[in-house]
Copies of this chain bind each other. A is one copy, B any other.
Amino acid sequence: MSLLTVGTVAFDTIETPYGKAEMVVGGAALYASIAASHFTDQINLVSVVGDDFPQVELDYMEARGITLDGLQIKQGEKSFFWAGKYHDNMNQRDTLITDLNVLADFDPVLPESYKNSTYVMLGNLTPEVQMRVINQMETRPKLIVMDTMNFWMDIAMDSLKEVIKKIDVLTINDEEARQLSGEYSLVKAAKVIHEMGPKYLVIKKGEHGALLFHEGKMFFAPALPLAEVFDPTGAGDTFAGGFIGYLAQTDDISFENMKRAVIYGSAMASFCVEEFSIGRMKGLKKKDIDERLQQFVELAKFDLK
């Protein structure tokens, strides 16, 4: 089924204990779309870049079935740029530079061909931009998944909550779930967040896995322990892209299938962190994904006899 993705398409400069990558491609919509493209080839991307964004990367996206009719290319302007440095433990990072550039006055315009997309992935962006995307849809999508971050809770909680009212699945991390709900226990946080609108809540815990909450039911997906985590940038967006890409492919939003989607998202995220930028994602084959999924099965499988 068709999948609309919205979010940043950007440049990142990243330093980790393993090395440094300068001006590599990144952004929530780029990571999510590329992850999703392993499962579906009807991806409608909405974003904005400057005229500095490499044509070769745009060609790569199109070759993977990502439609760029909704990508605004601003002549004479620069793409969004983020620079950050990870601490030794990789769980913390410092933002060194955030240059909004084209993102500062981004007004998403959906091409006609996008307005009936069945699945929608709202990547992390200002809540106002996320809302403008929802408002341009002609038919209510079958499933709207939304990612956001603590930054918007700090400065735009009211408009954030307006978007949250309209979506089906919220993906945030554990600290964000606590901030949004005011509850420390994730079980209680989930109840509060369900009452805000989303019937499904995915709490991403990075190296500690992910929790899916729905109508009092819980599912826990482990993260795959890795010998080397090279660069965590984009892991959350890649998770979201794998998650919704698998749902769009199977067109089944039952709880059982959403559990699978969380595992697929986790598997894609486990690849993302193995190299800088989309390095690992580029060479990825179906066989690699199937093997990785099997590792998740082995990791989590037990029977009580």
Contact = CB atoms under 8 A, between A and B. Distances in A.
Interface string A194-229: 000000000001001101000001111110011111
B300 A302 contact: yes
Contacts of A205: 208
Contacts of A300: 219-220, 300, 302
B299 A304 contact: no
Contact of A304 (B220, B226, B228, B263): B263
A164 interface: no
A94 interface: no
* Most B Cβ at <10 Å: residue of A208, A220, A221: A220
A135 interface: no
Q: Which range contains the number of A residues in contact with the other chain?
A: 35 or more
A293 interface: yes
A219 B260 contact: no
A226 B190 CA distance: 11
Contact of A299 (B186, B219, B229, B293): B219
A303 B293 CA distance: 10
A286 interface: no
Given A89-B184, A205-B208, A209-B208, A302 B260 contact: yes
B299 A220 contact: yes
A36 to B, nearest CB: 18
A227 B228 CA distance: 34
A188 interface: yes
A305 interface: yes
Nearest to A17: B184
Interface string A62-92: 0000000000000000000000000011100
A303 B257 CA distance: 9
Contacts of A260: 302-305
Nearest to A187: B227
A302 B302 CA distance: 11
Given A299-B220, A302-B300, A187 B263 contact: no
A185 interface: yes
Contacts of A217: 298
B304 A185 contact: no
A225 B302 contact: no
Contacts of A303: 260
Contact of A225 (B187, B228, B263, B299): B187
A186 B225 contact: yes
A293 B304 contact: yes
Contacts of A298: 217-218
Q: Which 8 A-B pairs have the closest CB atoms?
A: A208-B208, A220-B222, A187-B227, A259-B302, A187-B225, A220-B299, A186-B225, A300-B300
